[in-house]
Amino acid sequence: MKRLDSVLVACICFLSIITVYSASAEPSGSDSIFNKLFGGLNWQPDALNSESEVIGNYQVVIATDPLTPQVNQTTHLEFKVFNYNQGTYGENSNYAEIGVNHFIMGVRVFYNGELVHEIIPQSHKGSSWGIDYVFHKSGNHVLKVDLYDMDKNNQVVTYIFNIPVNTIFGPIFPYILIAASVALTATILWIKFVMMKKKVPTR
């Protein structure tokens, strides 16, 4: 019985730790259940599933669908280029944000500091283009987006984005642990109840 009590206490402690960890690790905003259901419906620069960076007069925005890429699952990457045609972004002067009408872009994908894939520079009409891509490892991937010939000196400007990739279990893994802990705790409580009931003397 003492050993059973020890196991029960350990299960309760484990369940408490996992619950606290899952609550503290839940991202605010982009990975909430509401945002997973509705955040990807509208693609825009300030969407919850997008990142952007401004260098000089140009802003590059990258968005992912799904919101959090999964290992060995197809992820749609969408890129968009904006031009601030009056002054540099961030200055006090007035500026207008408009999409460019054409651009040349290449993408390099890095994992743990090593180049794992390269999308050669291509010319695109309009202000956006998209591609389906598969990440084969979990963890953070760095995308270096090269924008070509956007100034009079024909320089290449590189925009850097971090793309976290989850395992195939993704964010449901902590909930699996919680469910398993609850089931185990309930089973041990039931066994203890049955054993105590058997020890009750009959008259």
pLDDT per residue, tens digit, the chain (203 aa), is 556 566 666 666 666 665 555 444 444 334 444 344 333 333 343 334 578 898 888 899 999 998 889 999 999 999 999 987 644 445 544 455 688 999 999 999 999 999 999 999 999 999 999 999 999 999 999 999 999 987 677 789 999 999 999 876 555 556 666 777 777 777 877 777 777 777 656 55
Q: Is 184 helix (H, G, I), strand (E, B) or coil?
A: helix
Given CATH 3.40.50.10860, say whether it is the number of domain 39-168: no
Query: Nearest 10 degrees: CA dihedral of 128, 131, 135, 138?
Result: 30
| Residue 8: predicted pLDDT | 60
C-alpha dist (Å) from residue 63 to 2, 68, 72, 121, 198: 55, 10, 18, 19, 62
| Residue 155: predicted pLDDT | 84
Burial of 128 (0-12, 13-18, 19+ CB in 10 A): middle
